[in-house]
Chain A
């Protein structure tokens, strides 16, 4: 970790210092100024922006190292700047408080954007090494003289809005050499360190996950749970995005979901997630395992970037992404499978995920993770190749190796894929599949029973294929390999006593289904 300490200010630098709160500001401070765009014609000066070196950074320090409400300005101030020009800009804040931790630095740093935009005549855009600030001519006309006034106003807002900040101190820099030096030596390594958190932060390291219900308009029972090890299905929202959104708008589409009790460390089941899911889905389902493919899988909204599908013939899982137009080895295209799976249902045998989930250390770990994966399109495989463990990477087929189940079988046998002789789950060393009967010579039923753990209640006698379920209304069943037919129909939630048809091992062609109430002729 990069050491957190006060920066050194060169002895020969031009420095202005001011301590203590400001009595009065020559500008208004209000959220109504958010989004105010200062046009080039109205601009006094530009700080940072496309042409200059710039950064903003928050550092958490021990209490005794922060001098409260002190501002140090290194370099020229506003009254020494030329109208219409742009200048380098660095904003550094030291913060302290009993609840202030290094982990909070990025969250606090992002608020600089909000608070500075509350200042009339001051426009703040972007973040980190990309900030872009403009000060309006009008603000200067109204009495803005110094960047110290800006720093004092920002610090005041920090302390008012985030009371856990007990002490705050600012160092603003317009001296090009010093901005460059701090950016290179301190800020960049810290930004990099934070980004590595995406890979190193895990479900067990946090207290809360975040929900996303942006998709509920068309998938009413869908609740996306975003955890450090599981980004949203659409690929857009990480745990960090969820946290940022929930902090700004706690009642918005991203809410904090307390984890509660850990019920299944391998499948990723938490009591808090179950309770939340039950409430938000209107009771539609009450258990979710975040890292499971077969047992209480996460619901699939319809936005997912990739769909996973179980192929009983090889006892393995294939994945196909939205951009792959051809049928997968199971004979189905992405859009066909997506149409069957979307709508906010738990569908056994199919799972929608975001591409970023392939990076997860817990990627379907309950069902063998990468060692259960047998097929994916070349384009997708190349995109995530570096996250695939080396010892399995070449054993996963692409369309170049196999286009049909038969070709896939041949390929898997040739490369000795783990599914052939049985998959050992990496996370706990448990053997979770038996391997292929013709290879390991086990009785057929026993082998095929394994993938069906997901639906023991519905299919106590093991079936080769997941059972076909027709949940409610009459509908033509397409002549396809058998699987569940989820029907994202709003009426389904309304009907408490639905009809469930379970048909096993059958090819079905149905001309018409007539449903009648009891006693009706």
Chain B
């Protein structure tokens, strides 16, 4: 199993990158699990699929109904509900983590979740996680590892600052990652590209790809259409296919 976490400051294009990675990798591998671990993003929209329920919803149902479960096995109950929640999409599975915890104690629910997700994920060839910059699911160990961390940034100062912070956080969380890499998005001038290369060298984060500003992406965004509708004529689409090939080759 190869786990790839895609993260970065909100609005930098991390869901675009995640969706296209999932799109290309699932064309070659039959065992891809996409995980939406950012409550603010909409990976399912970017992928053009509909999701009825999230893992957060299941956890809430578990919290309120556990007193009524009698002698049923709670782990098996939770596992069944999670498997039902996973969306069987065309070519890949999608799990949406959804809302954060409510009040009360989630130690038991989360301890069960960790075990279930660990058993589930090991059967996939690729697990691609769209994660918010705080990496909450990693710090709580609901998702316990990622071999590759891809940080998406634009040229904004905040985007770059977040990238540096994520690198620090990834180290502290001991994710056992092999590599932390950078994808720069909406880079429209040579000057900008030069600056991003300097940043990558200074932070010792490999620059995986530089994506240009792309009218077509903006257009899809405006219309609320899935980014996987892009085609060969888009530079972003072609470059992301190259990125996917790097991971497919291993």
Contact = CB atoms under 8 A, between A and B. Distances in A.
A53 to B, nearest CB: 17
A86 interface: no
A127 B30 CA distance: 28
Interface string B111-146: 100001011101100000000000000000000000
A69 interface: no
B80 interface: yes
Contacts of A195: 70-72
Given A34-B119, A37-B93, A130 B88 contact: no
A234 B104 contact: yes
Given A194-B70, A214-B107, A235-B67, A126 B119 contact: no
A234 B109 CA distance: 11
B107 A236 contact: yes
A245 B119 CA distance: 16
B245 interface: no
A321 to B, nearest CB: 10
Nearest to A125: B80
A360 B70 CA distance: 14
A236 B113 CA distance: 14
Interface string A36-47: 110111100000
Given A214-B111, A234-B107, A125 B79 contact: yes
A215 interface: yes
Contacts of A303: 104-105, 107
Interface in A37-64: 37, 39-42, 50
Given A303-B107, A323-B103, A106 B88 contact: no
A376 interface: no
Contacts of B71: 106, 194-195, 197-198, 238, 240
B76 interface: yes
Interface string B94-106: 0000000001110
B209 interface: no
Interface of A: 34-37, 39-42, 50, 106, 110, 113, 125-128, 130, 132, 191, 194-195, 197-198, 214-215, 232, 234-238, 240-241, 244-245, 253, 302-305, 322-323, 355-356
A50 B119 CA distance: 22
15 contacts: A35-B116, A35-B122, A37-B83, A42-B30, A132-B83, A191-B70, A194-B70, A214-B111, A236-B109, A244-B75, A245-B75, A302-B105, A304-B105, A305-B105, A322-B103
Contacts of B88: 39-41
B77 interface: yes
* Secondary structure call for the B interface: helix
A60 to B, nearest CB: 16
B73 interface: yes
A303 B107 CA distance: 8
A35 B80 CA distance: 11
Contact of A356 (B67, B107, B108): B67
Query: Which 5 A-B pairs rank lowest in CB-CB distance, beginning with the nearest?
Result: A195-B70, A35-B119, A303-B105, A236-B108, A126-B80
A355 B67 contact: yes
A113 B79 CA distance: 11
**Which among A215, A238, A302 has the greatest number of chain B C-beta atoms within 10 A?**
A238
Interface string B52-84: 000000000000001100111111110110011
Contacts of A191: 70
Contacts of A232: 108
Contacts of B83: 37, 125, 132
B113 to A, nearest CB: 12
A37 B123 contact: yes
Given A195-B70, A197-B71, A236-B66, A215 B107 contact: yes
A130 B111 CA distance: 23
A320 to B, nearest CB: 14
B227 interface: no
A126 B108 contact: no
B76 to A, nearest CB: 5
A504 to B, nearest CB: 35
Contacts of B77: 126-127
B160 interface: no
B105 A198 contact: no
A37 B105 contact: no
B40 to A, nearest CB: 27
Contacts of A237: 108
Contact of B70 (A198, A215, A245): A198
